[in-house]
Chains A and B, each alone.
Chain A
Amino acid sequence: AAGVIQSPRHLIKEKRETATLKCYPIPRHDTVYWYQQGPGQDPQFLISFYEKMQSDKGSIPDRFSAQQFSDYHSELNMSSLELGDSALYFCASSLAGTGGSYNSPLHFGNGTRLTVT
C-alpha cells in the first residue's frame, strides 16, 4: 500500500539559509500534519491542513510557513534557519472524510532529517 512520502530524507543547511520540505500524503487522504522531533523529544505538532486549508496551528515559528497544494502535497518552508531547528521533521496524513472522523489515525512518512550548521 502507498505510504506517506517525504523528501528529501536528509538536508544540511547553514544558519540563516532557507529549506523546503515536501510531503506527499497517502492517496485520498484529505488531512496533512507536520511535526518536529528534536533528539530525545516527542513529536511536536507544527501545523495541519484539511482539504488544502490550514486547519490547526501548533508551535510553529513565524519563520516557518506551510501550504497544501491542489494535488494535496504539502510543503514546509523554513527561513532564517537556526541551529535549534536541527531535528527530524515528520509529515503525516489521515482521512477525516466529509463528516469528519475523530478516530482516523495519523500515518507518518519516513521524515526529513534537517541539520543546521
Chain B
Amino acid sequence: RKEVEQDPGPFNVPEGATVAFNCTYSNSASQSFFWYRQDCRKEPKLLMSVYSSGNEDGRFTAQLNRASQYISLLIRDSKLSDSATYLCAVREGYQKVTFGTGTKLQVIP
C-alpha cells in the first residue's frame, strides 16, 4: 500500500461546478500536509498548506481529518484554468515529504 494515496481520476466537471478530492495517508505520525497543483510537464506549485482547523483561500478549501487520516481539497466555481493534476503532499518526519499519485481534473466549458 502506498504511503499517500489519491484517486487518479480524471474528474471531468463543467465550469462552475464544485469538486472535491480526498487524499489518505498511512503514517499517523505525519506532521504537515499540503496541496500542490501540477500542470503537464511542469513543476508542482504550492496551492495551499492544510491546517488542523481547516483553511480557505478564495475558491479553495482544505481540511484535515487526523482520526481518519485524510486530507481534502474542495474547489468551488471551477474555472477552465483549474484543469491540472492536484497532488497532496505529506511530511512524515522532520524532512521527508511524500507525494500522492495525483488527481487529474479537467474542467469542461
Contact = CB atoms under 8 A, between A and B. Distances in A.
A51 B87 CA distance: 27
Nearest to B44: A108
Given A41-B101, A42-B87, A42-B102, A56 B43 contact: no
Interface residues of B, number: 23
Interface stretch (A13-21, A62-70, A75-83, A97-105): A97-105
Nearest to B85: A42
A100 B97 contact: no
Nearest 5 interchain pairs by C-beta: A102-B31, A108-B43, A56-B95, A55-B95, A56-B96
19 contacts: A42-B100, A42-B101, A42-B102, A43-B44, A45-B98, A48-B95, A55-B95, A56-B95, A56-B96, A58-B96, A88-B41, A90-B43, A96-B94, A102-B94, A103-B49, A105-B46, A106-B34, A111-B42, A113-B41
Given A45-B99, A111-B42, 16 more contacts: A31-B95, A42-B87, A42-B100, A42-B101, A45-B97, A50-B94, A55-B94, A56-B94, A56-B95, A58-B96, A96-B94, A102-B32, A103-B49, A108-B44, A109-B43, A110-B42
